[in-house]
Structure 1
């Protein structure tokens, strides 16, 4: 098997670090030491540096001359705008899906929620979050506009870190399932306005949590 190219190697590092940062496995403010990363990934410094540059462009990494590279803290002022962008994209999407809903689309959404129930019962927050992503991606794909999901992903990286922090809150995962059920119920009834309203409510629940998150994890926010 051929050795990975430099660009491929950089992408592997970038993707792995992005996922770890968004999952809060590497918390905001953590140092990212090139030497440690080269050892972890078994690569030279060049692809590691390229990956860190890309992550800085995404707003997930900060570089301080003479101090080092660190996981960026969550910019509080950026969250409302990110929520607004995501609501604009996904509310329009779910209204469209409600208008074209087929038994296959409904079955696919029901299956995702069923898997979320299993993850919830198992207390598996990681799997629960992954199925949450699949739920929203399924809606975008069902609308026939896969590019919408890519745009939503670009807008929601900071949101995702906050969302991961809320999952351990008692009752949170059950609430997410209820909200997903409300969305699917509206789609099943082919009620576009109701589907849009349910999605807007679902995506807007993060904003009231910000104050609490900042109070309990002040070092994670900027």
Structure 2
């Protein structure tokens, strides 16, 4: 295991353990089906098992860990049903956000979008996948702000987080970042020129980019999916 992590003075050990494991899971350093031990994590952080157990429970609530009594805890495998459900909810919310953003966008909103796209370009130049992922969140947050629906970002963030591991796999398979930024530019242009249906069309095309990746991974890495969810089983 890695050396003991220094716990932040103003944070609880549960927060630090949760954040560490959350990032390990989303970055796929811990992969679907990997087993993790309360005892090992407690030793890594120099704490008792109780804060580890609390962090595990928080991750289980996010559907990222599978905790089974008397059996090893493991990183949750993908569920095709839950992915479909998450994307359905997100698409419904984003359609309304994009329509509202196209209606309300002003010069200030246009400048925010341009700044967000410029930051994504810099991430591509640096080939920084992690930073690009964070900036993708920021782009959708800006759209919600322009739409005067900041609360919608909470929903988008929750649903997006459920498929982030698939997004990481998508970005790792070929040069996908420029394609995604091109989608963002199309969305931004439609919003800035007050074309709600054009913004929705570009937004839905952007969301569909993950379809091929899901299909490929369900075949090439079937063990990443819950057994009953794998196509053909």
**1:136 corresponds to:** 140
- 2:36 is the counterpart of 1:32: yes
Aligned partner of 1:87 among 84, 91, 102:
91
Report the CA distance between 1:10 and its aligned residue. 1.9
RMSD: 1.8
Aligned partner of 2:180 among 171, 176, 181:
176
**3-state SS, counterpart of residue 170 of structure 1:** coil
1:146-195 CA distance string (max 9 Å, x none): 22111122223331111110002223111101100000010110111111
TM-score, reference length from structure 1: 0.91
The 5 Å alignment of 1:140-219 reads 140-219=144-223
**3-state SS, counterpart of residue 146 of structure 2:** helix
**3-state SS, counterpart of residue 74 of structure 2:** strand
Name the structure, 1 or 2, with higher relative contact order (CA <8 Å, separation 6+): 1
Supply the distance in 1 between the matched residues of 2:16 and 2:125 (Cα, whole angstroms): 32
Aligned partner of 1:47 among 46, 51, 72:
51
Contact 1:80-1:207 at 8 Å conserved across structures: no
1:49-106 CA distance string (max 9 Å, x none): 0111121122110022332111101112211221111111112112101111111111
Supply the distance in 1 between the matched residues of 2:23 and 2:147 (Cα, whole angstroms): 26
**2:101 corresponds to:** 97
TM-score, reference length from structure 2: 0.87
- Against the structure 1 CA distance between its residues 4 and 118, is the aligned structure 2 distance closer, same or farther, given a 3 Å change threshold? closer
- Against the structure 1 CA distance between its residues 3 and 170, is the aligned structure 2 distance closer, same or farther, given a 3 Å change threshold? closer
Report the CA distance between 1:197 and its aligned residue. 1.2
- 2:13 is the counterpart of 1:9: yes
Q: Which runs of 5 or more structure 2 residues have no equivalent in the other structure? A: 1-7, 227-233
Q: How many residues align?
A: 219
**2:110 corresponds to:** 106
Contact 1:98-1:195 at 8 Å conserved across structures: yes
Contact 2:13-2:51 at 8 Å conserved across structures: yes
**3-state SS, counterpart of residue 28 of structure 2:** coil
Report the CA distance between 1:31 and its aligned residue. 1.5
Moved over 6 A (4+): none
Supply the distance in 2 between the matched residues of 1:74 and 1:162 (Cα, whole angstroms): 9
**3-state SS, counterpart of residue 172 of structure 2:** coil
Supply the distance in 1 between the matched residues of 2:24 and 2:33 (Cα, whole angstroms): 13
Supply the distance in 2 between the matched residues of 1:127 and 1:90 (Cα, whole angstroms): 22
Report the CA distance between 1:4 and its aligned residue. 5.4
